[in-house]
């Protein structure tokens, strides 16, 4: 069955960086677009970015453009989110999800807290 | 950006009764609309896509309808496991956007 496992979250100071990873299994990873979606504490959902199966096309939300970069490594069946210049508003649970437009499978999420 | 507005914010319904949740888009999203269910401490789960198509493994008591700007999720006979937060989401135009959610609680 499809499994997505995020890692790399934690506490980081404003202006700092963090790299999230998502290990995928149970499906042919390179066949699928993949996405990052976040949820601030007690808030709704925000679709941040997605990447094509081959990794050649990416798109980011304006709120993270220029600061966050999505990437993937099909040899490792892994998805990544490099987060730079973090601000307090980036505090959230970050989910990796399979799909673009539709998120048909989700990981359990990893919490990122931006605080001094 | 397309704004998705869900109503009501909270819906109190008794088990076995019918629940109707609404979602409105600020501009047409055609039928590119999905519904998700989220329980406390869990990731969202896809229920419905293309406004009315069941995702894999979703019970038939969940149904979606609508197109354009007005959408509805109906749960025909509420089970205890259905009490959760429900989100609609459009995928017609980037950025894909979610509604703020409807919390379905036990009456």
Low-confidence stretches of chain B (pLDDT beneath 50)? none
**Token pair for A51:** 């990447």
Q: Does B44 touch chain A (CB under 8 A)?
A: yes
pLDDT attached to residue B33: 98
Does B46 lie at the interface with A, CB-CB under 8 angstroms? yes
* Predicted local distance difference test score (pLDDT) of residue A42: 85
- The shortest CB-CB distance from A102 to any of B91, B95, B98 is to B91
Is residue A76's pLDDT more than 90? Answer: yes
Tally of CB atoms within 10 A around A90: 22
Among A45, A59, A61, beta carbon nearest to B44: A45
Both tokens of A76, joined, read: 């490792």
Q: Which long-range contacts (CB under 8 A, 24 or more apart) does B56-62 make?
A: B56/A104, B62/B35
With b for 16 or more beta-carbon neighbours within 10 A and e for fewer, the B64-76 pattern comes to bebeebebbbebe
Strand partners, B72: B22, B65
CB contact under 8 A, B46 and A103: yes
Average pLDDT, rounded, for chain A: 97
Identify the pLDDT of residue B42.
95
pLDDT value at position B51?
Answer: 98
- B94/A44 Cβ within 8 A: no
Q: What end-to-end distance do the CA atoms of chain A give, in Å?
A: 40
B43 contact A CB<8A: yes
Interface test with chain B among A70, A94, A102, by most B beta carbons within 10 Å: A102
The angle at the Cα of A106, spanning A5 to A61, to the nearest 5 degrees, equals: 105
Do B15 and B79 contact (CB within 8 A), yes or no?
Answer: yes
Average pLDDT of the residues in A19-39: 97
Residue A76 · residue A65 · CB < 8 Å? no
H-run or E-run covering A29: none
- In angstroms, what is the C-alpha Rg of chain B? 13
At A68 the pLDDT is 98
CB contact under 8 Å between B43 and A109, yes or no, is yes
What pLDDT is attached to residue A6?
98
Nearest to A104 among B46, B94, B95 (CB): B46
């Amino acid at each position: 069955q499809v499994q997505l496992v995020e890692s790399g979250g934690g506490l980081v100071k404003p202006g700092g960086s963090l790299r999230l990873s998502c290990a995928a299994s149970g499906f042919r990873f390179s066949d699928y677009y993949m996405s990052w979606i976040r949820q601030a504490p007690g808030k709704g959902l925000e679709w941040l970015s997605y990447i094509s199966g081959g990794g050649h096309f990416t798109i980011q939300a304006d709120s993270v453009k220029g600061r966050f970069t999505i990437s993937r490594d099909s040899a490792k069946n892994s998805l990544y989110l490099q987060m730079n210049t973090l601000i307090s508003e980036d505090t959230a649970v970050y989910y990796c999800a399979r799909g673009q437009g539709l998120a048909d499978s989700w990981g359990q999420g990893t919490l990122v807290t931006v605080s001094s | 950006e397309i704004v998705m507005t869900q109503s009501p914010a909270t819906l109190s319904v008794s088990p076995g009764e019918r629940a109707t949740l609404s979602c409105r888009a600020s501009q047409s999203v055609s039928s590119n609309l999905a519904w998700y269910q989220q329980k406390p401490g869990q990731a969202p789960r896809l229920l419905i896509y293309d406004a009315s198509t069941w995702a894999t493994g979703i019970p038939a008591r969940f149904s979606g309808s609508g197109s354009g700007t007005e959408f509805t999720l109906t749960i025909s006979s509420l089970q205890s496991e259905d009490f959760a937060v429900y989100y609609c989401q459009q995928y017609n135009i980037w950025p894909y956007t979610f509604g703020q959610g409807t919390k379905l609680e036990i009456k």
